[in-house]
Structure 1
C-alpha cells in the first residue's frame, strides 16, 4: 500500500489563493486520512489556512465537496470513453489504445479523488450514487464495445469482452492506490499501463495459436502490473 499522505502546514495557502480546486485537493487528503465521516468543514478550512466562511463560499457542505469530486472523475471518465467508442471507423487496436491511455491518464492525474470516490461513494445521496453507478457502467460498456469489435475482427484473443474490459479497467483503477505522482511522471506510466493492457488482448500469431482463457488474461495483467508497481517503488538512479 502507498504511504499515508497528509496535508502539512507548509502546504496551507493564504486566503487570497483559496479556490475551488485547492478545496477539493485538501478535502481529498483529509477524506483519505480521516475518513469522510471523521472530516468536517473546519478541518478543511484549517488545512488550507482559511476560514470556514471562505470554504462555504465555494461549497455549502462536505457532502457537496464529495459530490463535486465524484462528478469530476466519474463523468469525465464516461465522456472520455464515449469520445472513442463512438468512432467505429477506428481500428479496434487503435481504439483500445486510446481508451486505456485516456482512462489511465485520468486516474493517474486524480489518484486521491478516485480513492475518495471508491471509499466514500456510499455517503452520497441516492441520486448522486445512481449517477456515479451509471457513469461507471457507461465506461464499461464503451470498453466492451471496442473489445468486442476487436474479437469479431480477429485481432483480439480475449474470449469474453466484458471480462476483458473489467480486467483492463480494474488494472487502471488500481493505479490510484499505488501511484505516487510526486516521484513519477504521468505520461510514461499511462503508456506503460496501455502497453500492458494491449499485450493481454491483441493477437500475436507467434505466441497465440488459440484464444487465451479469461483466467490466463487476468493472470498476465496481474503479473505485469506487479512488475510495474515494483519499478515505481525503486529509487531513481
Structure 2
C-alpha cells in the first residue's frame, strides 16, 4: 500500500491562508474610499438642507453614524469636503470636455451634442452636489478656489472652441462663441434645479432634447449658408467657362 503524503501542518496551512500585508492594505484602502464617499454624500445633503455655514463636523459625523473623533480619520474639515466636490464636479469634467473637444472623428455638431449630453447628465445625476458646489465657491480655500475657477474657465473654453470651430466650418451661425457657450451652459446647469428622477422625466429623453435645442440654436440656416454656396456655384461656373474656352483653342497641330 502506498504511503500517505504527510499532511500539512496546521501552522503551514494557517500561514498560507493568512492575508498578506498587501491584501490587508488593499482592503483598508477600499474601505477608506467607501467611507469617505459616504461622508461626502452625507455632507453634501446637509450642506444643501442646512447650508454650508451652519453645518458642523458633528452634524456630518452624526449623519454618517460615527463619532467626531472617528470622522477625523477620513476628513479634517468642511473645506476638505468642498475640495473633493471641486475635483468631482469641476476638474474632472474640464479634463473630460477637453479630451472630447480634441476628438477628430466628430464634427463640431457632434462634439456640441456630446458635450451638452455629458453636462446634462452630470447635473441630473448629481443635482445636490452641483448646487452646493455652485453656491459655496467663496468658502473654498486656496489653492482649491483658483483650481475651481480655472476648471470653470476650461469648461467654457472647450464649449467656445467647439462653437467657433462650427462657425468657421459653416455649420453654425456667426454668433459670439462665448455668449453662445454661456447660453448652452445655462440650459445644462439649470437641470440641477428642476430635474427629478422618476416616471415624469426620462434622463435619456431630457439629454436628447436639450442637446438638440443647443444644436438648433447654433445651426446655420439657408441664409447663413448662402454666401458659401454662392461662392461654390460661382467657382463651378468659372471652371465650366474655362473648360469651354479651352475646347475652342486651336490644338498645336492645327
Q: Is the structural similarity TM-score above 0.5?
A: yes
Are the counterparts in 1 of residues 173 and 224 from structure 2 also a CA contact under 8 Å? Answer: no
Residue in 1 aligned with 2:222?
Answer: 205
Normalising by structure 1, what TM-score? 0.75
What is the aligned counterpart of 1:133 among 125, 149, 156? 149
Please give the secondary structure, in 1, of the residue aligned with 2:73.
Answer: helix
Provide, for residues 131-165 of structure 1, a one-character-per-residue CA deviation record: whole Å limited to 9, x for no partner. 00000000111111110011111111152111101
How far apart, in 1, do the equivalents of 2:143 and 2:39 lie?
Answer: 23
How far apart, in 1, do the equivalents of 2:204 and 2:36 lie?
Answer: 25
Consecutive unaligned residues of structure 2, counting only runs of 5 or more, are 1-31, 228-254
What is the aligned counterpart of 1:193 among 199, 206, 210? 210
How far apart, in 2, do the equivalents of 1:26 and 1:92 lie?
Answer: 39
What is the aligned counterpart of 1:114 among 127, 130, 142? 130
How far apart, in 2, do the equivalents of 1:18 and 1:80 lie?
Answer: 24
The root-mean-square deviation of aligned C-alpha atoms, in Å, is 2.6
Which structure's CA Rg is the greater one?
2
Residue in 2 aligned with 1:41?
Answer: 57
Normalising by structure 2, what TM-score? 0.70
Q: CA deviation at 1:205?
A: 3.2
How far apart, in 2, do the equivalents of 1:198 and 1:181 lie?
Answer: 25
Which deviates further from its counterpart, 53-62 or 199-208? 199-208
Identify if the C-alpha distance between structure 1 residues 200 and 17 changes in structure 2 by more than 3 Å, giving closer, same or farther. closer
Which deviates further from its counterpart, 196-205 or 96-105? 196-205
Consecutive unaligned residues of structure 1, counting only runs of 5 or more, are 1-15, 211-237
| 1:79-94 equivalences in 2 (<5 Å) | 79-94=95-110
Q: CA deviation at 1:203?
A: 2.4
How far apart, in 1, do the equivalents of 2:33 and 2:92 lie?
Answer: 26
Residue in 2 aligned with 1:72?
Answer: 88
Identify if the C-alpha distance between structure 1 residues 128 and 17 changes in structure 2 by more than 3 Å, giving closer, same or farther. closer
